[in-house]
Amino acid sequence: MGGVAGSRLDEEWESHRPAVFGAAYRLLGSVAEAEDVVQDVWLRAAAADLAQVVDLRAWLVTVAARSAYNVLNSARVRRDAYVGPWLPEPLLTGPDAGHRVLVDESVSTALLLVMQELPPPERVAFVLHDVFELPFGEIAGVLGRSPVACRKLASRARARVTTARRRPSASRAERERVLNAFRAASEEGDFARLVELLDPDVVYVADGGDKATAARVPVLGRVRVARLLARLGTRRPGARMHLVEVGGEPGLATYRDGALVWIDTVDISGGRITAFRRVANPDKLRHAGHTRAS
């Protein structure tokens, strides 16, 4: 890499990298795969003539989307063979996070799950247009479709996402209050309080990927979920639960003897947990567990 183009990339890369990573992560739901896309984008940009590129950020995000789109087909095959429920790889987004990423509600676990249900073309069109504000003419080049077709894809995706956004959602303060109460009940072994903090129709989903002990099917109902959570709780020697930020929202990370064992994210409505999601697959915790809790 050399000349004006190389110098421009060297100067601007770090400021655009969060957008490149953010686009890939929203599309793939995997930190590891998003990092691979970032590396691919860097190599492609280093080999390209950027002198005529007016908007480098948009160009890099478009390249990231094209690379992620190519990954999506193979990812779907792997997903079909995945053991147990699949959840997005947790992305820590607090002050001490290992990745800089553009944070909004589209990196929350709940919306990532909605986007993962969309067909890949709809997902790409929505992320590029609604999150990164790219024109449909550029999106057409990624998907190999007309701008009009891409507009329709984004519209269908937007309708699904809008439905999810209309569900009652707790404020950040309410989330932190409920999670802190849940942590206290877990640490104290207060089963009655655990039940009280769960919605009667709560759904518990765990992702162990056949590499960690986890329920293979969702668990329904607050008494059943409370029993499961109490059995797996933090009243074990060396266990600690910490409030963390996951995808821009409060979550919980549990450590044993300083090693991260799972990350929990929740949906909360009316002061109770309506959905409880636990990622215990160690492969999905590798990037979140770069530090050890004291």
In this structure, what CATH number is given to the domain that contains residue 181? 3.10.450.50
Which pLDDT score, from 0 to 100, does residue 184 have?
Answer: 93
The last residue of one of the domains, among 145, 165, 185, is: 165
Q: Tens of pLDDT along 256-282?
A: 888 999 999 999 999 999 999 999 999
The last residue of one of the domains, among 118, 150, 165, is: 165
Nearest by Cα to 248 from 82, 30, 99: 99
CATH of the domain at 89: 1.20.140.160
Whether residues 12 and 158 share a domain: the answer is: yes
The domain of 40 spans 3-165
Domain count, the chain: 2
Whether residues 62 and 144 share a domain: the answer is: yes
The last residue of one of the domains, among 111, 134, 165, is: 165
Cβ-contact 131, 121 below 8 angstroms: no
Please check whether residue 177 lies inside any domain of the structure: yes
Whether residues 19 and 52 share a domain: the answer is: yes
Whether residues 124 and 197 share a domain: the answer is: no
Q: Tens of pLDDT along 93-123?
A: 876 665 666 666 777 898 899 998 999 999 9
Whether residues 160 and 199 share a domain: the answer is: no
Whether residues 241 and 127 share a domain: the answer is: no
Whether residues 160 and 144 share a domain: the answer is: yes
Cβ-contact 96, 56 below 8 angstroms: no
Q: Apex CA 233: angle with CA 231 and CA 235, to 5°?
A: 105
Please check whether residue 291 lies inside any domain of the structure: no
Please check whether residue 290 lies inside any domain of the structure: no
Predicted structure pTM score: 0.88
Please check whether residue 293 lies inside any domain of the structure: no
Whether residues 31 and 148 share a domain: the answer is: yes
Please check whether residue 73 lies inside any domain of the structure: yes
Please check whether residue 185 lies inside any domain of the structure: yes
Whether residues 111 and 136 share a domain: the answer is: yes
Whether residues 139 and 200 share a domain: the answer is: no
Q: In terms of C-beta distances under 8 Å and separation of at least 24 residues, what long-range contacts does 167-172 make, across chains too?
A: 167/267, 167/269, 168/269, 168/270, 169/267, 169/268, 169/269, 170/268, 170/269, 170/271, 172/249, 172/250
Please check whether residue 74 lies inside any domain of the structure: yes
Tens of pLDDT along the chain (294 residues) come to: 444 456 778 889 999 999 999 999 999 999 999 999 999 999 999 999 888 899 999 999 999 999 999 998 777 767 778 888 999 999 988 766 656 666 667 778 988 999 989 999 999 999 999 999 999 999 999 999 999 999 999 999 999 998 887 777 789 999 999 999 999 999 888 999 999 999 999 999 999 998 888 888 999 999 999 999 988 876 666 788 999 999 889 999 999 888 999 999 999 999 999 999 999 999 999 988 654 444
Please check whether residue 216 lies inside any domain of the structure: yes
